[in-house]
Amino acid sequence: MARIDFVNAGHSYSGISDNIADYALQPMNHSWDDGKKYALLGPSGCGKTTLLNIISGLVRPSDGRVLFDDRDVTDIPTAKRNIAQVFQFPVIYNIMTVYNNLAFPLRCRKLPRPEIDIKVREVAELLNLTSHLSRPGFGLTADAKQLISLGRGLVRNDVAAIMLDEPLTVVDPHLKWQLRRKLKEVNNTYKMTMILVTHDQNEALTFADKVVLMKDGQIVQVGTPQELFENPKHTFTGYFIGSPAMNFMPCRLENNAVMVGNNQIPLPGLEACKTLPQGKLELGIRPEFLRLAQKASLDTIEVHVCDVRDLGNYNVATVVMGDHKLKVKVPISQSLPSDKGYLSFPPQWTKLYHEEKLVEISC
Amino acid sequence: MSLILENMTKVVDGVTHLDNVSLEMEKGSFNVILGPTLAGKTTMLRLMAGLERPTSGRMLIKGQDMNPIPVWKRKVSMVYQQFINYPNLNVYENIAFPLRRGKLKADEIDHKVRTVAELLHIGELLTRKPKDLSGGQQQRTALARSLVKGDDLLLLDEPLINLDYKLREQIREEFRNIFDENGDTIIVYSTTDPLEALHLGGQLLVLNEGRPLQSGATHRVFRNPQTEEVARVFNDPPMNMIDGVVVNGRAVLGQGLSVPVTGHISGLKDGTYRFGLRASDLFLLRQSKNDVEFSATIELGEISGSETFIHARHHDVSWVIHEFGIHEHSLGEQASIYFNSRDLFVFGTEGGLTAGPEESTSTAPIY
């Protein structure tokens, strides 16, 4: 197991270039801590597979270095990097028994038979595969096969990291959560570095200690799922994480206050923003954090309620404030105003963005 | 009445794919068929389209028996899960295609194509070929082609399932506005996703394993499931179900969870029941002083959209709790869980509803 470092590592499929647009993965410095679960999340074409392939050695970065525990592995081939990989579709030896599938990587490394047996049984027990050990691989369900793929990585003591490339795609929806739980348990037991690649936010957020959100070949934000939800550092995080997405409105600063159209939104700590250079300013707040009341009170803004969707366990109201439409998520138990409502922006959840990046203000 | 299904049944090689569906649909209505995979949704749509013949039963449109009418003579269109367009035609011609066969004037066709393209936000893409479109744009094109004809019947078979979730979210939002302008066309939309059904509204039929379970206004069915099966199918995650008994005016759920028998459950006779609780009616914080409290071990926090679903175990019962927002919980952590007996659904041993919570008076009006 290892800590993995990117030192200014990036990749352009057309070789080193001055044009940043040529880079599928822009040169970056990033560390993957030993024993943590990471998810690489982003829309297709964001560079997450390139990143994964650089770690596993399938792609040699055009720029920078890759280190495993401070050892430079940039030019070391995949086979010598001790990376285990679970692919989108199960890759197992169908004619071998489950036992032999799990034992295979250890036999290749010529471990003594008793040692192999102990390890295989231990991993099979953890993955609930014990009762399957003597049966052949074919005819097993997709989730059992994926567990075997995972198990082949787990039996080895020398694995630097386990890479999982959309491993739950083929798994039946109602079995997914069981497999996710298994992955968490495995990580707790073996403390292995695991890196999951996915375009599915639910999968990433459920699996990872740290989510690495990517867009256009760059890392947009790294954080725990809760951090990404509660404190998006980039407007893209606010848009991509969460459903419905975060509300954003263009705004301006006037006399230490945030103005959206003619409405003033209270936000303490704005003194820090005096030094902000010119550029696009936006105010962002998640639908969960806006408050919509039937009566006016201090700091509320009158809005027009133009649509309410009853989604069973909560309502989503669309309100018009000046020129902007905002979404507000309201618990089903709370009564909603019809037509005219009063909106408030709790300061701790109200975020200011300059050129799409969060302005850090303390309040 | 515009469309009537009478005892529609489809049996293939001795296996019943659709079992005796009877339903009426008004002209211009929006209808949702909700059910898990293999519920019979696609079979039902194919029967309605005329792509398959029913084993028994029939469909009447404006009083006319459709059984003898071949598919090419029916005024019906269908949108599939896969994005199907003519690859050699641009978006404009893809949409105009069904109109070209008729006797419409060129300027009428042009007007119709542009109107529907605007409605679906592809007005800027009319000269592109399907291969130069994203998945969402391809599906919008297929949808535009089905809408432009103004058929009697438009069938949509899980049209969003192959799109990524951000796109699904966006198009789902627009659907209600699009379908509000469909004139007299009857729309039937199938989905596996309860949240999508609630987004769409309209009239609902719940199907499971080929059997029609319950029908009615979508939100009414959600609030008033008549059977345990409907409560399961129409909740994601499925409604928590716990075996329990009522003895001498006291209800005991699972292993020793004592619940006051008041309110809507006060009339329960002594006996064995299944108690149902929605994940959203379980809390990690006390909501009121007469809440029932129990302790459980957290097994997983599953995150979906902006919500966290906590899987927790109390003795041998697994519970799912719905939390707003994204929160971290560690595996194996002990937590106190709260619920209120007024939120309990009670089902008999046969699965039928014995008592259900009163419909919340604060249910939002739908504008």
From B169, B278, B311, residue closest to A243, measured CB to CB: B169
Output the six-digit token pair for B278: 């929605």
Domains of chain A: total = 2
Question: With contact defined as beta carbons under 8 Å apart, do A279 and A309 qualify?
Answer: no
What's the N-to-C CA distance of chain B in angstroms?
25
Query: Same structural domain for residues A74 and A207?
Result: yes
AA letter at B18: L
> Does A66 map to a domain?
yes
- A155 and A256 share one domain: no
CATH code, residues B3-222: 3.40.50.300
pLDDT number for residue A1: 66
A235 and A326 co-located in one domain: no
CA A32 to chain centroid: 14
Nearest CA distance, A175 vs chain B (angstrom): 13
A338 chain-B contacts, CB cut-off 8 A: 365, 367
How much is the pLDDT for A181? Answer: 78
The Cα A216–Cα A17 span in angstroms is 16
Q: How far apart are CA A199 and CA B196, in angstroms?
A: 20
- pLDDT > 70: percent of chain A: 98
End-of-domain residue from the set A175, A208, A239: A239
> Where is A25: in which H helix or E strand?
strand A23-32
Instruction: Please answer whether residues B245 and B252 qualify as being in contact, where contact means their C-beta atoms are separated by less than 8 angstroms.
Output: yes
Q: What residues form DSSP beta bridges with B258?
A: B252
Residues of B in contact with A286 (CB under 8 A): 306
Distance separating alpha carbons of residues A153 and A309, to the nearest angstrom: 46
Q: Is B362's CB within 8 Å of A332's CB?
A: yes
Do A184 and B300 lie within an 8 Å CB cutoff? yes
Residue A171 has a pLDDT of 74
Distance, in angstroms, between B289 CA and closest chain A CA? Answer: 17
B224 contacts chain A (CB < 8 A): no
Is B198 in Cβ contact with A310 (below 8 Å)? yes
Are A241 and A287 in contact, with CB atoms under 8 Å apart?
no
* DSSP H or E segment with residue B357: none
What's the burial of B331, exposed, middle or buried (CB within 10 Å: 0-12/13-18/19+)? middle
DSSP assignment string, A211-274: EEEEETTEEEEEE-HHHHHHS-SBHHHHHHSSSSPPEEEE-EEETTEEEETTEEE--TTGGGGG
- Chain A, 326 to 345: residues with Cβ < 8 Å from chain B are 329-336, 338
CATH number at residue A232: 3.40.50.300
**Nearest CB to A310; choose among B169, B302, B364:** B364
* Contact (CB<8Å) A309/B199: yes
Task: Kindly state whether residues A235 and A249 are assigned to the same domain.
Answer: no
Contact state of B165 with A311 under an 8 Å Cβ cutoff: no
Residue A332 banded pLDDT, cuts 50, 70, 90: confident
Name the residue type at position B308: T
Residues 124-153 of B with CB under 8 A from A: none
Q: Do B322 and A177 touch (CB under 8 A)?
A: no
Joined tokens for residue B81: 């899960």
Rounded to 5 degrees, φ, ψ at A347 are -55, -35
Only one residue has tokens 């969060």, namely A358
- Would you identify the CATH topology of the domain B240-354? OB fold (Dihydrolipoamide Acetyltransferase, E2P) (2.40.50)
Q: Does A99 share its domain with A175? A: yes
Assign A205 a pLDDT band (cuts: 50, 70, 90).
Answer: very high
Final residue before a domain boundary, out of A187, A211, A239: A239
Decide if B3-222 and B240-354 have a common fold: no
Q: How far apart are CA B93 and CA B109, in angstroms?
A: 10
Both A101 and A176 in a single domain? yes
For residue B30, how far is the Cα from the chain centroid? 12
Instruction: Render B53-86 in DSSP notation, one character per residue.
Output: --SEEEEEETTEE-TTS-GGGS-EEEE-SS----
| Domain map (residue ranges) of chain B | 3-222, 240-354
Q: Are residues A56 and A198 in the same domain?
A: yes
Q: Best mutation site among A41, A189, A190, A205 for testing chain B: the one with the most B CBs within 10 Å?
A: A205
- A42 and A15 in one domain? yes
Q: What is the pLDDT of residues A96-126, one digit of tens each?
A: 999 999 999 999 989 999 999 999 999 998 8
Is B301's CB within 8 Å of A308's CB? Answer: no
Beta-carbon count within 10 A of B315 CB: 12
Q: Is the model more confident about B230 or about A360?
A: B230
Give chain A's end-to-end CA distance (angstroms, integer): 41
* ipTM associated with this complex: 0.85
Cβ of residue A200 closer than 8 Å to a chain B Cβ: yes
- CATH no. for residue A323? 2.40.50.140
User: Residue A29 is part of which domain span?
Assistant: 4-239
Q: What would the pLDDT profile of A256-294 be if each residue is shown by its tens digit?
A: 789 999 999 988 888 777 777 888 999 999 999 999 999
How much is the pLDDT for A90?
A: 86
Cβ neighbours around B247 below 10 Å, total:
11
Rounded Cα distance between A134 and B105, Å, is 71
Euclidean distance between CA atoms A72 and A109, whole angstroms: 23
- In angstroms, the separation between the Cα of residue A113 and the nearest Cα of chain B is 34
Determine, yes or no, domain membership for A275.
Answer: yes
Tokens 């639910």 map to which residue?
Answer: A202
Q: What is the pairing mode between strands B153-157 and B76-79?
A: parallel
What secondary structure does DSSP assign to B337-356, as a single string?
Answer: EEE-GGG-EEE-TTSBEEE-
Chain A residues whose CB is inside 8 A of the B222 CB are 312
Q: Which two tokens stand for residue B260?
A: 């006051």
pLDDT of residue A136: 92
B89 to B40, B97, B142, B274: CA distances (angstroms): 34, 9, 12, 57
In the predicted model, what is the mean pLDDT of chain A? 90
User: Does the distance separating the beta carbons of A230 and B325 come in below 8 Å?
Assistant: yes
CB contact under 8 A, A202 and B304: yes
SS3 A335: coil
What secondary structure letter does DSSP report for B101?
Answer: T
Ranges of residues in chain B whose predicted pLDDT is under 50: 361-367
Type of residue found at B112:
K
Closest CA relative to residue A286, chosen from B198, B307, B363: B307
Length of chain A in residues, anyone? Answer: 363
Residue where a domain stops, chosen among A179, A212, A239: A239
Chain B residues within an 8 Å CB radius of A306 = 367
| pLDDT score for A132 | 93
Considering only residues 274 to 333 of chain B, which have any Cβ-Cβ distance to chain A shorter than 8 Å?
Answer: 278-280, 299-306, 311, 322, 324-328, 331
> B342: which 2 tokens?
């007024």
Question: Which residues in chain B are closer than 8 Å to A228, comparing Cβ atoms?
Answer: 326
Is residue A363 assigned to a domain? no
B363 vs A217 pLDDT, higher one: A217
Q: Does B194 touch chain A (CB under 8 A)?
A: yes
Cβ proximity of A66 and A5 under 8 Å:
yes
Q: Where are the alpha helices (DSSP H) in A109-214?
A: 113-126, 142-154, 173-190, 201-207
| C-alpha closest to that of B299 among B282, B284, B283, B311 | B311
Residues A250 and A232 in one domain: no
CA distance B355 to chain A (A): 19
Residue A229 lies in a domain: yes
Contacts of B219 in chain A (CB under 8 A): 310, 312
- Let me know whether A113 and A257 are in one domain: no
Q: Are B339 and B283 in contact (CB under 8 A)?
A: yes
Task: Test A177 with B311 for CB contact under 8 angstroms.
Answer: yes
Answer yes or no: do A292 and A226 share one domain.
Answer: no
- CA nearest to B177, candidates A306, A313, A246, A339: A306
d(CA B158, CA B194) in angstroms, rounded, equals 12
Confidence of residue A173 (pLDDT cuts 50, 70, 90): low
Taking the C-alpha atoms of residue B127 and residue B117, their distance in angstroms, rounded to an integer, is 12
Neighbouring C-beta atoms of residue A160, cutoff 10 Å: 23
Count contacts between A and B (CB, < 8 Å): 115
In terms of pTM, does the model score above 0.80? yes
Do the Cβ atoms of B363 and A310 come within 8 Å? yes
Helix H or strand E encompassing B72:
none
- Whether chain B has a CB inside 8 Å of the CB on A90: the answer is no
* CB of A296 less than 8 A from some CB of B: no
Interface probe with B: pick from A206, A230, A247, A339, most Cβ of B within 10 Å: A206
- Give the contacts of B316 (CB within 8 A, at least 6 positions apart): B254, B255
